[in-house]
Amino acid sequence: MPDVGATEPVLLALVGRPDSHTRAVYEQAGGYQALRRAVGELAPENVRELVKSSGLRGRGGAGFPTGLKWTFLPQDHPGPIYFCLNADESEPGTFNNRILMEDDPHQVLEGLILSCYATRATTAYIYMRYEYPLAWQRMQAAVDECYAAGYLGRNVLGSQFSLDVYLHRGAAAYICGEETGLIESLEGKRAWPRIKPPFPAVEGLFHKPTVVNNIETVACVKHIVDRGADWFRSIGVPPDPNNPRDPGSFGPKLYCLSGHVERPGCYEAPLGITVRQLIDQFGGGIRGGRRAKAAIPGGISMGLLTADELDCPLDFAGPGRYGCLGLGTAAVVVMDETVSMIDFLENSCQFFEHESCGQCTPCREGTSWALKMMRRIKAGRGRLIDLDLLLEIADSIGIMPGTTICGLADGAAWPIKNAIRKFRGEFEEYIRRTNPQGCHETAPVPALDLVALH
Amino acid sequence: MAIVIVDGQEIEIGDGERLNGIQAAQRAGIEIPHYCWHPGLTVVASCRMCLVETGRRDPASGAISMMPKLVPACQTPARDGTVFVTNSQQVTDARAMVEEDLLIRHPIDCPICDKAGECHLQDYHFQHGREQRRADIKPFTSRRRPLGDSVTLFVDRCVMCSRCVRFCREIPGTSELMVTNRGAHEEIDVFPGFPLANKMAGNVVDLCPVGALGDRDFLYSQRVWFMQNHDQICAGCSTGCSIHVDENQDRIYRLRPRPNPHVNQWWMCDEGRYGWKHAHDERRQTAPRRRDGEQLRVEEWGELIPQLDADLRAAGRLAAVLSPHLTVEEAWLLASYIRAIDPQAWLVPGPVPVVGQDETFGGGFTIHAEKCPNRRGVQAVVSALSDELITWEQFLERAAGEGFGAVWISGGYPAAWHGESEAEQLAAIPLRIVQDIFPSPLWEQAGYQLPGAVFAEREGSYVNFDDRLQSFRWAIRPPAGVQTEGRLFWRLAGRRGMYQADEVLLEVARRVAYFAAAVQPVPEVGVDLKVLSLA
C-alpha cells in the first residue's frame, strides 16, 4: 500500500474552500461538465455501462454493485421510475454524507442527475436525516440553483431528459435508512421494511420501479463520468482471485474517523487502506499517546476489531475476514485502553433497542432483552451464563439466519458477537468482580425492578 | 398438477392455485405455527413463527437443493418442485426462539385471560416452546384500555402480529387501529378521538391470536372450555353469515364467524355478532295459551295441539302468514299442513323488515338492509304452492273481506314488527293463531298464543340474498314451554318421532324446482341454488 496520505482528494476536492457549496465555486472547479457531456454525447445505456464497468459498489453499507442494481430495473418500463437518494445517514460514527451535502452539494446533485439520466428516472427524492439542518439548507439552495441554471426541471440542458428533485426530511429514525423502510416512510407510512421480493427495482416507491442509492455513491458516479472507468478502477483493491464472488473494491472512499484519535475527521483514501494507516496517517495517532484497544471498522453495526487486528484493510471484503459484518459506512471509531467493553456493548445494545422498528419478533424482543441483560451486568448483577445467552441471541437474529426482514438485526447482533467473543476475558472478569456471589448462578434470576424500567 | 414436497411427503396442488408454505403444509396435514399470517389479510411475515427450510427439486435430475437460511412459510409460494422442511432441528430451534421472545414481556396472566384455552401463544408454547423461562425480565402488569365501545386492549398481552391493524385497513377500510411507538415499546392504539367504531370491529377479537383484544360483551362471562360450539347461520340479515354459536347449558355467550368463502369469508358484522340478546330476553313468551272466552288459559302442549288442530279444521277458510324467520323446512311444513286442511288457503310471506340500505365495505363484505335470514326461502315455498304471491300489505287490506275463519301468523322477529293498526285490520278473522317470541298487539288478541323459537333454537335451512341455501342444526334448546316451530309443525302434520329437518328438505328438494340443488347432505358452506337454473 503506497503512502495514501499523499493522494489527491477527489470527492473532498472542494471541501474546505470558501463558498464551496455554491454553484459558482463548483462550476469554477469544472462542475457540471460531466453532466453536459453525458447529456450531450452519451445515451443513458452508455452511462449505465460506464458505471457498471467501473466496478462502483454502493457506499451506503451493503456494498452492492451499483451498475448491477440499475440493471434490475425493468426494460422499457412506461414509467415513472423513481430515484431515492438515501441521505438518512444515521449509523453511529458516520458523517461523510453530511460533509458532502454541507460543503459540496452540487457534486452530489450532479451525480444524482447523472444517475437519474442513466436509470431514466424522472423524479428523485432526497431522503434527508432530520438532524441535518445545515445540509438541508445547502441542498435546498443547491437544488434551487440547479433549477435556475436548467440542470433540473423540464428538458435538462435542452435535452429530452427531464428531472424533478424533492427534498424530504425524515423524522429521526435509523430504520429509514434501510431502503424499503425509506420507501415506506416516503409514502407516508410507518418505516417498516418491506418483505422482498419484490425488490424496489421492480416494485418500490408508489409501486413503481425505484432505485435507492447513497449520497457518496452518486458523488462517485459524477467522477466516473468525468474521469472514466479506468481511472476509477486504478484506485482500490482488485477482486480476490480465490473468491469468484468478490467484485473487488474500487475507487476512492470517504472514511469517517472518530473516537480516541488526535485528529478525528472525514478523510478520503483509496479503498483498502488499513485501520492502522488511517489512524496514523490521518488521525495523528491515538489521543494522548495511549494505546488502542479496539476499533469499529465501519459503523457500530459492523462489529469490532481488536488492537491486534488493526491491519485489517478497509475494503468491502476486509473486515469480513476479521469476523466483522463488513465495511459498512467506513466509519472508524477508535477506542483506547480506557474504554470498558461493557460500556461499549451496553451503549450499542441501547442504540439498537431504541432503533429496532419492532416488526419482526426476534429483533424486537432480542434487542430489548440484550439491553436489559447488559444493564443488569453493568449494574453488577451479571452471571457468566448471561454471556452465552447474549451470544445465542446475537447468533439467532438477523437476515443471515433468516429470522428477520431487514439487516438491522444483523447490525445489532455483530457488536454483541464480536465484543463477547473477542473480549470475553474482560466481560468475565467484570462479572466475577462485580457479582462475586452470584456470578456462577444458572437458575433463572428473579425479575428485577431495575430492568423492568423502560 | 404441481407437486410440493412437505417433510418428504409429496402433495399435489392445482395448477392455478396460489398457496403459500403454510397452506401447502396444511394439505399434507402438517401445521406450521403462525401468528401474523391470516388467509384473509395481506402478508407481512413479521412474527417469524412460521420459519421453515425451503428448497427446490430439480425437475430433471430430482436433486434437491436447499436454501441456506430459514424463510417464513407464509411468504414462500408453493410451486412445482418446492420443498418445505418443517421438522428439522433448525426449524425447531427457531420456533423455540420466537416463542421465548414473545413470552419475555407477556404477563402470562392466563388464569384471568379470556383467551386462555383457545390462545395460540399457549398452544404453541406447549408444542414448540422451551420448558424453562430464561428471561430475567419482570413482565409488565396488566395494562388495559378501551379501543372503542366493544373492544378492550390488554396492552402487554399483545404479540404485535398486526392482524387487527391490517383488518381495519383492508376489510372495513376504516383504519382506526395503528401501531404506536417503536421496537419493544410498540403498542396497538387508536388515534385520539377516533375510537374503534366500525361495524365489523368485533372481528379483531377473533383475529387476535392471543388475549390482547377482549370483547367487552363477552369479557369474563365464560371460560372457553366450558362452551360447546355449534355451526349455525346468522339470522341478522339476508347475508346469512356462517357462524359458530358458543353456548353453555343452553345459554349463548358469543357468536363468532365461521369461514365460508362463498358468503362471509372469515368475518361477520357486529350487528349480527351481538344480535343474540333477544334469545335470553326476560320478556320472551314461554307459555302456550288458548283463549277461552275472555280468558287466556295456559295449556300443556299435549292438550293444546289436538285442540288447535280441531279448531283449524272447523274454521273454514284459512290463511297462513309465513315469517321470513322460518326455515325453509318449517315454512314447508306449515304451508303443507294448512293446505291439507284448506286446499285454497292463502299463503302469505310475512313482512320483510328493511332498515336503511345495504352497506358494502372496502373488503367486499356486505351488511344487508333486509333484516331477516330467509325471505327467499319462504317466498320460494309460497310461490311453489300458490299461483299468486300475496304480500303482507295486500293481505292486511283484503283479509277482512275474504271471510277467513282462521289465520296462522308466524312471527319470530327480534324487534317489534307490527303495530295496533295491523292487529285492527286482522280483527275480523274469528280465530287468530299467533306464534311469536315477544308479546305484541296481535299476540294480545290471539285465540292461540304459541311461543316460538329464536334462530339458535331452530333447525333447518335458510336461503340468503344470493340464493345460497345453508343448513344448520339447533345450538341451544328453547326455554321450557317453548315448542320450536319445526317441532310443532311436525307434530301437527301427524308425523312420527322427532322433527327431522333433513327429511323435510329432501321432500322440498324433490317437489320444488328452486330447491332441487339442495340434495343431502348440504355441504358446510351451503349450496348455490342457482347452479341448476343456470345449467
Q: What is the pLDDT of residues B472-503, one digit of tens each?
A: 999 999 999 999 999 999 999 999 999 999 99
Verify that A345 and A323 share a domain, yes or no.
no
Asked if A368 and B104 come within 8 Å (Cβ–Cβ), the reply is yes
B260: its cell numbers? 365460508
**Residue A373 in contact with partner chain B when CB distance is under 8 A:** yes
Nearest to B326 by CA among B295, B356, B349, B294: B349
Q: What's B43's DSSP letter? A: -
Beta strands B289-292 and B251-257 are unpaired
Q: Judge: A354–B69 Cβ closer than 8 Å, yes or no.
A: no
Domain count, chain A: 3
Shared domain check, A106 and A20: yes
Q: How far apart are CA A176 and CA A355, in angstroms?
A: 10
Residue of B nearest to A383 (CA): B136
Query: Is the per-residue pLDDT at B139 higher than 80?
Result: no
Q: What is the CATH number of the domain that holds A103?
A: 3.40.50.11540
Can you give the CATH number for the domain in which A367 is found? 1.20.1440.230
* A182 domain residue, yes or no: yes
Q: Which domain holds residue A390?
A: 341-452
Q: Report the mean per-residue pLDDT for chain B.
A: 94
The reply to whether A445 touches chain B by the CB within 8 Å rule is yes
Flag residues of chain A having pLDDT under 50.
Answer: 1-2, 450-454
Task: Assess whether the previous peptide bond of A415 is cis (omega < 30° from 0).
Answer: no
How does pLDDT run across B96-119, given as a tens digit for each residue?
999 999 998 898 899 999 999 999
- In chain B, ranges of CATH 3.10.20.740 domains: 2-87
- Are A202 and A99 in the same domain? yes
Nearest to B136 among A359, A376, A396 (CB): A376
In a domain, A243, yes or no: no
> What pLDDT is stored for residue A101 in this prediction?
95
Tens digit of each residue's pLDDT (9 = 90 or more) over B356-368: 999 999 888 999 9
Give the pLDDT confidence score for residue A454 in this predicted structure. Answer: 42
Domain boundary among A172, A207, A234: A234
Same domain, A403 and A327: no
The topology (CATH level 3) of B289-501 is: Rossmann fold (3.40.50)
Decide if A406 touches B, using CB distance below 8 A. no
* Domain annotation covers residue A89: yes
Give the pLDDT of residue B187: 95
pLDDT band at B533 (very low <50, low <70, confident <90, very high): low
Contact at CB, A356 and B183, closer than 8 angstroms: yes
pLDDT of residue A62: 87
A254 and A112 in a common domain: no
Cis peptide before A18 (omega within 30 of 0): no
B contact test, residue of A364, A395, A406 with most B CBs within 10 A: A364
Query: Are B182 and A356 an interchain contact pair (Cβ–Cβ within 8 Å)?
Result: yes
CA distances from B479 to A35, B254, B277, B476 (A): 86, 18, 14, 9
Residues A89, A190: one domain?
yes
- Whether A308 and A367 share a structural domain: no
Pick from A300, A273, A316, A332: which is nearest to A66 by CA?
A: A316
> Using beta carbons and an 8 Å cutoff, which residues of B are at the interface with A?
43-49, 51, 69-72, 75, 93-94, 97-98, 101-102, 104-105, 132-140, 159-160, 178-179, 181-186
**Whole-number pLDDT of residue B459:** 96
Structure confidence at residue A1 (pLDDT): 45
- On whether any CB of chain B is under 8 Å from the CB of A384, the answer is no
Banded model confidence at residue B534, pLDDT cuts 50, 70, 90: low
Give how far B97 is from chain A: nearest CA, Å: 8
Check CB contact under 8 Å for B70 and A356.
no
In a domain, A348, yes or no: yes
**pLDDT tens sequence across B234-267:** 999 999 999 999 999 999 999 999 999 999 999 9
Domain assignment present for A423: yes
CATH number for region B2-87: 3.10.20.740
Instruction: Tell me what pLDDT residue B8 has.
Output: 92
> Does A312 lie in the same domain as A173?
no
Distance from C-alpha of A82 to C-alpha of A205, rounded to nearest angstrom:
7
A347, A355 in Cβ contact below 8 A? no
Shortest Cα–Cα distance, B134 to chain A (Å): 5
What does the pLDDT read at residue A451? 42
Can you state the angle between helices A105-119 and A133-149, rounded to 10 degrees?
60
- What percent of chain B is modeled with pLDDT above 90? 90
What is the pLDDT averaged over residues B395-408? 92
A contact test, residue of B42, B51, B128, B134 with most A CBs within 10 A: B134
Per-residue pLDDT, averaged over B160-176, amounts to 95
Q: How far is A333 from chain B (nearest CA, A)?
A: 26
Give me the pLDDT at residue B1, please. Answer: 80
Q: Which residue of A has its CA nearest to B179?
A: A190
Interface probe, candidates A245, A365, A389, A390, chain B, greatest B C-beta count within 10 A: A365
A422 touching B (Cβ < 8 Å): no
Q: Which residues of A touch B181 (CB under 8 A)?
A: 358
Same domain, A146 and A125: yes
**Displacement of CA B144 from its chain's centroid (Å):** 29
Q: Do B160 and A190 touch (CB under 8 A)?
A: no
Which pLDDT score, from 0 to 100, does residue A447 have?
Answer: 56
Nearest to B464 by CA among B389, B371, B334: B371
Interatomic CA distance for residues A19 and B291, integer angstroms = 105
What does DSSP assign to residue A380? I
- Residue A294's beta-bridge partner residues? A306, A335
Q: Which residue of A has its CA nearest to B67?
A: A402
**Final residue in a domain of this structure, among A336, A355, A384:** A336
- What pLDDT, on a 0 to 100 scale, did the predictor assign at position A444? 72
Whether the bond into A80 is cis, omega within 30 of 0 = yes
* Cβ <8 Å between A452 and B160: no
Chain A residues with CB inside 8 Å of B102's CB?
A: 361, 365
Q: What part of A 123-182 touches B (C-beta under 8 Å)? A: 173
> At which of A336, A370, A392 does a domain end?
A336
CATH number (domain holding residue A311): 3.10.20.600
| A90 is a domain residue | yes
The CA distance from B328 to B97, in Å, is 53
Question: What pLDDT, on the 0 to 100 scale, is given for residue A2?
Answer: 45
- In Å, how far is B105's CA from the nearest CA of chain A? 8
Give the ipTM.
0.91
Hey, is the C-beta of A375 within 8 angstroms of any chain B C-beta?
A: no
Other CB atoms within 10 A of residue A296 CB:
30
What pLDDT does B464 receive? 95
| Per-residue pLDDT at B144 exceeds 60 | yes
Who among A192, A355, A361 is closest to B101 (CB)? A361
Which residues make up the CATH 3.40.50.740 domain(s) of chain B? 289-501
Partner residue opposite B136 with nearest CB, options A173, A362, A451: A451
All three cell numbers of B450: 304459541
Chain-chain contact of A403 with B159 (C-beta, under 8 angstroms) = no
Closest CA relative to residue A159, chosen from A80, A78, A43? A43
Put simply, the answer to whether B136 touches A452 (Cβ < 8 Å) is no
Inter-chain residue contact B48 with A362, CB threshold 8 Å: yes
Contact B243, B256 (CB under 8 A): yes
Q: In Å, how far is B162's CA from the nearest CA of chain A?
A: 9
State the CB neighbour count (10 A cutoff) for residue A27.
14
